[in-house]
């Protein structure tokens, strides 16, 4: 592990150095904590004052913020990495240090792993204790699978993917390259598909075999205890670059477009297609068989019950929280809203009667739905 210089870090990330490119940097820290051998970053102008007084070896800044610091006399004699998006450059440099500090250099198959004779496991892989890899499964180069995880028959895992402990990947499912699956993830369990039949006392359910797969693209991260079901006949698909947080539920035949992010506990019901570049808030839920346009933002806790056709919108459905006593009062009125509306209509009717020909009240009426 060789200490990188400011110049190296800038070059690796397409950024410029202002100051000494030979300066050695030993790690990253927030502006107010960074010591004289650490790099910091300024991604929000709110923290300009912190950047001005930071004791960091150097700071990653945008051209505009460096101008501001220079104008205020804080740039002279100091060292900078100048980048269009300092937060992204910070993230990439943080990855570099993290990789070096935490490199898991183990390779090979633990003596306690169970790997089927016909499974493909390159020598560059690490397979932890008690991992089970069933017949016909195929791993790419440098795949790491930590302890007690399961890879079903015929499943595929792409190059450089990291599978944490206690993950389950069902038979024939596909995980792309450079993915990260956190502990408790389940890929490819049966979708929730049943044919309703009339039983002697009510509707009973006959299982429909789920013969599709769950297919994840490249660069997908899946959070702890998230479940992505296999498709009924066709596949469930998570496209490249998607990031799913913990405890997310993806039902059968869902498609999530590339680079969409889904926060914790969100749930997407069967056959719903979510567009690309969407941002789905935590605990949001989607009904089944919907189409959600690209670049849609959905607030946390929101229920989406209809398709959204216009790209780029932001939608919310949360009842505003209130002190419980006030909520009770308002909830009672919500229960009787149609009566309240009726009362307003009666008043308008009466006033219309009184002021016949009054242009104003007719307009009002016209505006109401």
Write down the least CB distance from residue 278 to a second copy, Å. Answer: 9
Give the range of 46-54, 56-64, 66-74, 125-133 binding a second copy by CB under 8 A: 125-133
> What's the min distance (Å) between Cβ of 290 and a second copy?
11
Burial class (CB in 10 A: 0-12, 13-18, 19+), 258: middle
- Catalytic annotation, pick one of 74, 79, 171, 252: 252
> Does 114 sit near a second copy (CB under 8 A)?
yes
> Which residues contact residue 178 at a Cβ distance below 8 angstroms, ignoring those fewer than 6 apart?
158, 159, 160, 161, 218, 219
Considering only residues 176 through 235, tell me which ones interact with a second copy, judged by CB under 8 A.
180, 182-184, 186, 189-190, 192, 194-199, 201-209, 211, 221, 223-225, 227, 229, 233
Active site residue 252: yes
Give 308's DSSP letter.
B
Under 8 Å between Cβ of 131 and 147: yes
Binding test (CB under 8 A) with a second copy, winner from 48, 52, 120, 287: 287
Measure the CA–CA gap between 81 and 63, rounded to whole angstroms: 9
* Contact flag: residue 52 with a second copy (CB under 8 A): no
Per DSSP, the three-state class of 50 is: helix
The binding track of 267-286 with respect to a second copy, each residue x by CB under 8 A or -, is x-x------xx----xx-x-
Task: Report the candidate in 268, 298, 300 with the shortest Cα–Cα distance to residue 283.
Answer: 300
Query: Six-digit token pair at 51?
Result: 């950047």
Place of tokens 């019901």: 269
In the set 263, 274, 280, 293, which binds a second copy (CB under 8 A)?
263
Can you tell me which of 8, 11, 130, 307 binds a second copy, judged by CB under 8 A?
130
Residue 171 CB coordination number (10 Å): 16
- Indicate the residue among 71 and 103 with the shorter CB distance to a second copy: 103
Query: Is there binding between residue 165 and a second copy (CB under 8 A)?
Result: yes
Q: Which of the residues are catalytic?
A: 252
């Amino acid at each position: 592990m060789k200490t990188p210089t400011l110049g190296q870090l800038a070059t690796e990330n397409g950024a410029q150095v202002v100051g000494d490119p030979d300066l050695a940097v030993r790690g990253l820290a927030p502006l107010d904590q960074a010591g004289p051998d650490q790099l910091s970053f300024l991604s929000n102008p709110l923290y300009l004052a912190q950047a001005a007084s930071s004791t960091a070896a150097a700071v990653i800044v945008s051209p505009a913020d460096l101008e501001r610091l220079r104008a205020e006399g804080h740039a002279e004699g100091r060292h900078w990495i100048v980048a269009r998006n300092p937060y992204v450059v910070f993230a990439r440099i943080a990855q570099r240090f993290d990789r070096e500090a935490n490199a898991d250099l183990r390779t090979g198959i633990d003596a306690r792993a169970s790997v089927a004779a016909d499974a493909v496991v390159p020598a560059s892989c690490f397979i932890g204790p008690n991992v089970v890899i069933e017949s016909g499964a195929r791993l790419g180069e440098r795949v790491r699978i930590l302890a007690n995880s399961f890879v079903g028959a015929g499943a595929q895992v792409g190059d450089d993917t990291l599978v944490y402990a206690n993950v389950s990947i069902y038979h024939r499912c596909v995980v792309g390259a450079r993915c990260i699956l956190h502990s408790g993830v389940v890929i490819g369990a049966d979708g929730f598909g049943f044919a309703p039949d009339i039983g002697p006392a009510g509707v009973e359910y006959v299982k429909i075999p789920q013969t599709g797969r769950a297919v994840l693209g490249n660069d997908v991260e899946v959070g702890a205890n998230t479940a992505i079901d296999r498709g009924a006949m066709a596949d469930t698909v998570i496209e490249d670059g998607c990031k799913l947080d913990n405890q997310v539920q993806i039902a059968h035949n869902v498609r999530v477009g590339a680079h969409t992010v889904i926060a914790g506990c969100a749930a997407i019901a069967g056959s719903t297609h979510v567009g690309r570049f969407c941002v789905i808030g935590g605990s949001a839920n989607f009904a089944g068989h919907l189409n959600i346009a690209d670049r849609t933002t959905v607030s946390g806790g929101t229920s989406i019950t209809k398709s959204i056709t216009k790209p780029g919108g932001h939608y919310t459905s949360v009842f505003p929280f209130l002190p419980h006593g006030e909520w009770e009062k308002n909830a009672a009125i919500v229960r009787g809203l149609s009566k309240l509306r009726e009362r307003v209509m009666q008043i308008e009717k009466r006033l219309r009667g009184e002021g016949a020909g009054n242009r104003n009240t007719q307009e009002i009426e016209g505006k109401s739905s």
